[in-house]
Chain A
Amino acid sequence: GENVEQHPSTLSVQEGDSAVIKCTYSDSASNYFPWYKQELGKGPQLIIDIRSNVGEKKDQRIAVTLNKTAKHFSLHITETQPEDSAVYFCAANTGGFKTIFGAGTRLFVKA
């Protein structure tokens, strides 16, 4: 079955710097890759997603890139702000109802 690995587990950046979180997946049939942000005491919130027919997608300060050949995808946050501090989860889906999540990255943005 699908396996998603996520790195790093913890990331600390200075406010205004960029943050990059990387994930790899094992199932070449995976074609949908969402990213979730989970703030303390809340449920995961879908922040951006990308499908396998696209190499990059951007939404304001966040962007996601996908390399299907290498089976890895990344989340990029530019101009980080303290409110970006949260746990971020990558995930992969083969087009059905089952989504496999990475282990999560705890991002700290220091003011």
Chain B
Amino acid sequence: SAVISQKPSRDICQRGTSLTIQCQVDSQVTMMFWYRQQPGQSLTLIATANQGSEATYESGFVIDKFPISRPNLTFSTLTVSNMSPEDSSIYLCSVDYESPDTQYFGPGTRLTVL
């Protein structure tokens, strides 16, 4: 499986600020995905990022709040903008590997907004 890393692993931020989360994979992959996992909850897809095109956002998530970059086949960033305490969650990066429907996850970024 692919080795996926995320930075930072955790952060505590003040409301109104922004945080950019980085995701790096050790192999070239077609698609990268960003998920949010609220405390004790399941995984909710924020957006899908394909290299060289605009990210595709799921219902309830907008580009102004969660801008995403995908500059190459091994790297992506997710920014959480103008944060509020409701944004406190684990943010997970995943990639498709071996086949389009098989996803592997990074370790996650634990965000607390005060």
Residue ranges of A at the interface with B (Cβ–Cβ < 8 Å): 32, 34, 36, 41-46, 49, 89, 93, 95-99, 101-104
Beta-carbon contact of A98 and B45 below 8 Å: yes
Hey, which chain B residues are within 8 Å of A34, CB to CB?
102-103
Assess whether B73 is interfacial by the CB under 8 Å rule: no
Complex Cα spacing A49 to B99, Å: 12
Residue ranges of B at the interface with A (Cβ–Cβ < 8 Å): 1, 4, 31, 33, 41-43, 45, 48, 92, 96, 100-108, 110
Beta-carbon contact of B43 and A44 below 8 Å: yes
Beta-carbon contact of B100 and A44 below 8 Å: no
Instruction: Give the residue of A36, A41, A97 whose beta carbon is less than 8 angstroms from that of B96.
Output: A97
Complex Cα spacing A62 to B62, Å: 39
Complex Cα spacing A32 to B99, Å: 11
Q: In the complex, how many angstroms separate the beta carbon of B42 from the nearest chain A beta carbon?
A: 5
Hey, which chain A residues are within 8 Å of B42, CB to CB?
89, 101-104
Closest to B43 in A: A101
